Every structure is written in structure tokens, then in C-alpha cells.
């Protein structure tokens, strides 16, 4: 009897152990399957975009990612979200290589949205900005110019007489979403201008300050000279002497579609509202989009008796030459021409 009981207990123990082993193997397979789903790289080998709308649930995001072929299973994404408990950020994401679900999740939780970088240099005009945006893939140059013209209302509170956004599209490095159009781009650049204007305490006649700053920006890239250039222009305005600034003439030619890439003597005689050789006073509006230092110079021009200068951009020596009399200016011009010849120019 004792032996039979022992054999029975052995058989029962053996059965329980078998069940445990089976459960262990099932669990092992399940864990392995989950690990495979979560950690094994998967996804497109080419460029794939997924736009996750604001307010999307984790379930919806997982479904979108699975449908786009970015993750094997939306449930794996749900699992990682439950494990990490982070906040997912809406936006457009670009995927171009197989990746683990954990990597996909990390990118979305960090808000690593896809953008295109556009660098707008100080002194770029509306036309130059349009060309750069076209090059970066944001539609045609003309579509931006047309769109910007419709957005002049963005600055009417700053400049009630503004007929264009010229001067108010602040130069900076921008990161725009792929689907941004003129409306969003102009709004972002004007917002940046407003932030800088607040930083500088820019107030009063905004139109005049920005127009002056745009001339300063186009005339010199030397920071120390900007207040001096602004001072020269203010002195000439006070004496009702024409400003005779080439950047303004060029801008008028661009508006009329007559700019040939270089300024000619005949251009200086062409009567446009922006021809500061023929008309006294400031041009009708900004001729470019000035940066912070030129805006500050326009607000705080240097006090001097200078009435003339040879611009740094035209001088091979890389600095502007300032003078108080026409005779001194003539000597500076002659010196500039000699330097150009010496440098191999004409």
C-alpha cells in the first residue's frame, strides 16, 4: 500500500511539473514574441511621412503607424506607450529606415517632427526670400510673392500705411513643416519681427525706422559702421539732400521687373518712387528685411557731420569711407577706384 501511494504521488508530481514546464515554455515564447515585436527593427527603407493630428489617441497613432508600415503592430506601440508613460506630440514625422518600436516611440515623445530648414540672411528682400523658399521646396517663387501680398494685414497695426510685408519678415534660421504655405511662413516671420521689436523697445514711427534700417542693412555688413551710415542718412534728410543710395534704386527696378543684375548709369535716371537720386527723402517703404543691429542703428544713429560715404560692400578694403565734404568724398571715391583696379577689378 505504501509503495502504491508513493507511485501515485510521483505520477501527480510529474504531471504538475510537466504543466509548469509547458507554462514556462509558453511564457518564454510570449515574451520572445513581444520582444521581437518591440525591439526588432522594422519599417520602410525609403522615405515615408506620417502626420499625427493634434488630439490623436495612442490607439489612433498606433493604427496610423501600422498602416504606414512604420511598426509591425499597433499593439506593440500601445505596449511601449503603457510602459514609458510619456506624452506623445502631434506633427508630421519622417521615417526612412527600419527601427525598433522603442525608437519610433522615442521620436514621437520627443517631438522630433520633420521640418525643412530655411536660412534668411539679414538684408534679404521679399524677392530673395521667395527664391530661397522655392529652392527649399515650399512652392514657386511667385506663389510666395502672391501669398505675401495678401498677408499685408499682418502688419497694419505696426505700419498702417504698409503696402507689403517688406521689412517685417525678420531674417533668421527657420524650421518649417513640409506642408507650410505662404500664410504660415509669413505669420512665423512677422511673429519673429514682433519679438525682436519688443526686445529693442521699437516704437514710434515704425515705417520710418524699418525703412531706414533696410537701407543701412543693404549698405554695410560691418556692425560698427551701421550707426554711422544711419547718421549720414539722417544728416542728408535734415539738409534735404537726396540719399542717392543704390539699394533703393535697385529695389524700384525689381518692383518694375527691370533689374538686370547690375546697376547701370541709365538706371539712376529712371524715374521710380524708389529712385533716391531723383527724389529727396526716404523711399516709400523698406527695400529689404533688416536684422536686429540695423534696426538698433536706425533707432540710435551716430551723431556726426558726415554727409557722404563709400559703402563697405563696394570697397575692396572691406570698410566704408566717411566724409563731411564733397571734395573729401571725391578723394575717397578716387581711392576706392584705385583699390578696385589694384584688386583686379574694372
pLDDT digits (tens, 9 = 90+) for 148-204: 999 999 999 999 999 999 999 999 999 999 999 999 999 999 999 999 999 999 988
pLDDT band at residue 11 using 50, 70 and 90 as cut-offs: low
Local structure of residue 96 (DSSP, 8 states): -
Percentage of the chain modeled with pLDDT above 90: 71
Q: Which of 286, 38, 268 is nearest to 159 (CA)?
A: 286
Give the per-residue pLDDT at 85.
86
Mean pLDDT, range 92-99, rounded to an integer? 94
Mean pLDDT, range 294-310, rounded to an integer? 96
> pLDDT tens, 308-332?
998 765 555 568 889 999 988 888 8
Q: Which of 346, 313, 306, 305 is nearest to 329 (CA)?
A: 306
pLDDT band at residue 268 using 50, 70 and 90 as cut-offs: very high
261, with CB counted inside 10 A (0-12, 13-18, 19+), is exposed
Q: Average model confidence (pLDDT) for the chain? A: 88
The vertex-146 CA angle with 285 and 266, nearest 5°, equals: 50
Give the per-residue pLDDT at 43.
78
Mean pLDDT, range 267-285, rounded to an integer? 96
Mean pLDDT, range 40-55, rounded to an integer? 89
Give the per-residue pLDDT at 2.
47
Rounded to whole angstroms, the Cα distance separating 243 from 197 reads 26
pLDDT at 26 over 80: no
Percentage of the chain modeled with pLDDT above 70: 86
> pLDDT tens, 114-130?
999 999 999 999 999 99
Q: Which of 68, 66, 171, 158 is nearest to 118 (CA)?
A: 171
Give the per-residue pLDDT at 1.
47
pLDDT at 12 over 90: no
Give the per-residue pLDDT at 201.
96
Give the per-residue pLDDT at 16.
72
- Position with higher pLDDT, 251 vs 345: 251
Rounded to whole angstroms, the Cα distance separating 100 from 195 reads 40
Domains and CATH numbers, the chain: 48-113 (3.30.1490.480), 116-200 (no CATH), 206-342 (no CATH)
> pLDDT tens, 219-255?
998 999 999 999 999 999 999 999 999 999 999 999 9
- Provide the grid cell at 157: 497695426
pLDDT at 39 over 70: no
Amino acid at each position: 500500500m505504501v509503495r502504491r501511494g508513493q507511485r501515485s504521488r510521483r505520477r501527480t508530481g510529474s504531471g504538475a511539473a510537466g504543466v509548469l514546464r509547458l507554462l514556462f515554455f509558453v511564457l518564454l515564447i510570449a515574451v520572445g514574441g513581444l520582444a521581437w515585436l518591440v525591439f526588432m527593427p522594422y519599417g520602410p527603407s525609403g522615405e515615408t511621412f506620417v502626420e499625427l493630428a493634434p488630439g490623436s489617441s495612442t490607439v489612433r497613432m498606433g493604427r496610423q503607424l501600422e498602416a504606414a508600415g512604420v511598426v509591425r503592430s499597433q499593439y506593440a506601440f500601445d505596449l511601449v506607450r503603457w510602459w514609458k508613460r510619456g506624452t506623445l506630440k502631434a506633427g508630421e514625422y519622417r521615417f526612412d529606415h527600419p527601427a525598433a518600436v522603442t525608437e519610433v516611440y522615442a521620436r514621437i515623445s520627443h517631438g522630433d517632427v520633420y521640418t525643412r530648414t530655411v536660412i534668411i540672411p539679414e538684408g534679404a528682400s521679399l524677392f530673395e526670400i521667395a527664391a530661397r523658399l522655392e529652392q527649399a521646396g515650399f512652392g514657386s517663387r511667385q506663389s510666395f510673392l502672391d501669398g505675401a501680398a495678401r498677408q499685408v494685414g499682418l502688419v497694419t497695426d505696426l505700419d498702417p500705411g504698409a503696402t507689403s510685408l517688406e521689412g517685417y519678415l525678420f531674417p533668421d534660421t527657420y524650421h518649417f513643416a513640409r506642408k507650410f504655405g505662404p500664410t504660415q511662413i509669413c505669420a512665423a516671420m512677422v511673429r519673429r519681427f514682433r519679438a525682436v521689436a519688443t526686445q529693442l523697445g521699437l516704437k514710434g514711427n515704425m515705417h520710418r525706422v524699418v525703412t531706414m534700417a533696410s537701407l543701412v542693412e543693404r549698405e554695410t555688413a560691418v556692425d560698427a559702421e551701421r550707426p554711422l551710415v544711419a547718421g549720414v542718412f539722417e544728416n542728408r534728410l535734415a539738409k534735404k539732400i537726396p540719399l542717392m543710395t543704390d539699394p533703393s534704386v535697385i529695389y524700384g527696378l525689381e518692383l518694375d521687373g527691370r533689374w538686370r543684375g547690375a546697376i547701370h548709369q541709365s538706371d539712376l535716371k529712371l524715374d521710380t518712387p524708389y529712385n533716391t537720386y531723383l527724389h529727396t527723402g526716404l523711399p516709400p517703404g523698406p527695400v529689404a528685411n533688416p536684422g536686429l543691429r540695423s534696426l538698433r542703428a536706425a533707432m540710435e544713429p551716430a551723431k556726426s557731420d558726415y554727409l557722404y560715404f563709400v559703402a563697405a560692400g563696394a570697397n575692396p578694403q572691406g570698410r566704408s569711407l566717411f566724409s563731411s565734404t564733397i571734395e573729401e568724398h571725391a578723394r575717397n571715391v578716387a581711392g576706392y577706384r584705385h583699390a578696385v583696379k589694384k584688386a583686379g577689378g574694372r
